Homo-oligomer: A and B are copies of this chain.
């Protein structure tokens, strides 16, 4: 048996053509395209296509994909009724349940052919977004807004969430944020999805498990923890730095810093830092950026840790007017692109993922003790 460190750190669990990370050099690329290239040129729809197909779409292919994302947006009525019935529940629990429920209303749910799975991936991209926006509209007593086919995925999301069409800066910021969160190799949620898919279970089972993993504070929930910290400091620089010093003294992990893979700056943070400033200035939340910036300096000098994807996405999403408890669900909306790409790849060349445990328990062969003698 191959004995490794805890948490499978540095252990190769699968071959993949999707995502490359060099944690020492701070390189992240999807299908060979550097994340900086994609952030500069690509739309999220192009990234979805790229992750699924390994190449950029031509105009016809892109329009077809956009049509699918719009066409699949409407939710089965029982899912809407479910969302209506749980207005005070934690959004990640609601999302996990609603996505699981989608399979009950999909005639292709049990069809594990490549064609059916590609179609289901398309539905999941559209419907996960619709679940998040529909849930928020319902819980705030507002009308559900049908998507606008003329809008991009990013603009449509913000529009159906807030009821307002975003301006160009807001749309472009959110679009790039979706791209930056779209995939990250065998992160815990994607890996959970691949473990589930590798039993040849269906794609709904796999992404439902992935959503459950993303919910954890050591994974997707960190962005929500970051903004709660910044808001607790009222976006005040001195207060924020003081809070962080206090956390360091009490050996509490400061959310949004450090990463299992990166030993240098997370290339996604580079972009999100800029957005946090730009969009913060635009919407009157520059204080959150300034506080974030000082917190970053403090953690860098005292702990030598770099901000990860969650740190500046927190203030960026807040400045975009997104409710705090939707930050992690929105992470799920973007990562759905990567989850589905990895699950489709897993099916293509499948092997059951079944490691072993190092047994550290009682010696085997314990004698039975009758209950009276226990």
A7 interface residue (CB < 8 Å to B):
yes
Interface size class of A (residues with CB under 8 A): 35 or more
Residues of B within 8 A of A42 (CB): 368
Asked if residues B191 and A14 are in contact (CB atoms below 8 Å), the reply is no
A188 at the interface (CB under 8 A from B): yes
Question: Using a CB-CB cutoff of 8 Å, which residues 323-374 of chain A contact chain B?
Answer: 351-369, 371-372, 374
Query: Chain B residues with Cβ under 8 A from A96's Cβ?
Result: 100, 205, 208
Residues of B within 8 A of A198 (CB): 7, 188, 216, 218
* CB neighbours of A55 from chain B (8 A): 374
Is A64 located at the chain interface by the 8 A CB criterion? no
Contact B196 A213 (CB under 8 A): yes
Please tell me how many copies of the chain the complex holds: 2
Q: Determine the chain B residues whose CB is within 8 A of the CB of A12 once the complex forms.
A: 1-4, 355-358
CB distance from A187 to the nearest CB of B (A): 6
Question: Are B195 and A213 interface neighbours, CB within 8 A?
Answer: yes
Docked pose: A214 CA to B359 CA in angstroms: 23
13 additional A-B pairs beyond A16-B359, A34-B366, A209-B210, beta carbons within 8 Å, are A1-B12, A7-B351, A9-B355, A13-B355, A16-B357, A19-B357, A41-B368, A196-B212, A199-B218, A199-B220, A208-B209, A209-B213, A260-B352
25 contacts between A and B (CB under 8 A): A2-B12, A7-B351, A11-B11, A14-B357, A18-B357, A20-B361, A56-B374, A78-B85, A82-B82, A89-B104, A97-B103, A97-B104, A188-B195, A188-B352, A189-B199, A192-B209, A196-B209, A199-B217, A199-B218, A199-B220, A200-B218, A201-B212, A201-B214, A202-B212, A205-B212
